[in-house]
Amino acid sequence: MSEVVTTPAVLILLGPPGAGKGTQARMLEEGFGLVQLSTGDLLRAAVAAGTEAGKAAKAVMEAGQLVSDDIVLAILKDRMAAPDVARGVILDGFPRTDGQAAALDALLAASGQKVTAAISLEVDDEAMVGRVSGRFTCAGCGEGYHDDFKQPAVAGTCDRCGGTAFKRRADDNAETVRERLKAYHAQTAPLIAYYEGRGVLQRIDAMGNIADIQSALAAIV
């Protein structure tokens, strides 16, 4: 009986800040043995390892310039040949444009792979403004809270460590969140169209509870 050879999954998660990409990526890593690859982590690891692509990236970054798509793709190619990603990857932060998406398709095709699914975590913009702009954390232990959804059991006292000092990120305000969402939609619209045209776009309602979103993602994988 011949052994069934499975092609490693290549998933792309699309979604604005606060949509839950990080949470869902961790679930996919744990549940399916996939590896999340972020562009920043890949660059730092390649530079530290001293690979040819890493050396090229280091020279560009030390000159204060942006790393080219060719270098990023070379680093991604090296990383995807590693044995720990045999079951598949979740790409985070790449591609960002339809040009990068086409280059990624060519890279994958060279090794008999393709994008399994580009998953768009769909959100309601105004609900996202409320979700993100109400966040605050304990200054001591980092426990997260929210003005509307999760207040400390005792007002002004952290549930976890008993601390009384809290902080908010400067960019977690309604105006900044609206600008981030506007920028995200402008940048991502071409990618949505690109992957929709190739029949691999999947849309998931990211305003529901985490378990429902996990189930929808699991069905795709």
**Nearest in space to 168 (alpha carbons), one of 194, 132, 197:** 132
Question: Of these residues, 44, 168, 178, 203, which one is catalytic?
Answer: 168
Question: Of these residues, 44, 58, 77, 96, which one is catalytic?
Answer: 96
Model confidence at 220, pLDDT cuts 50, 70, 90, reads confident
Tell me, yes or no, if 168 is annotated catalytic.
yes
**Cα–Cα distances in angstroms (integers) from residue 194 to residues 73, 96, 99, in the given order:** 19, 11, 10
Q: Tens digit of pLDDT for each residue in 155-198?
A: 999 999 999 999 998 888 889 889 989 988 898 889 999 999 99
Tell me, yes or no, if 135 is annotated catalytic.
yes
Q: What is the mean pLDDT of residues 129-146?
A: 90
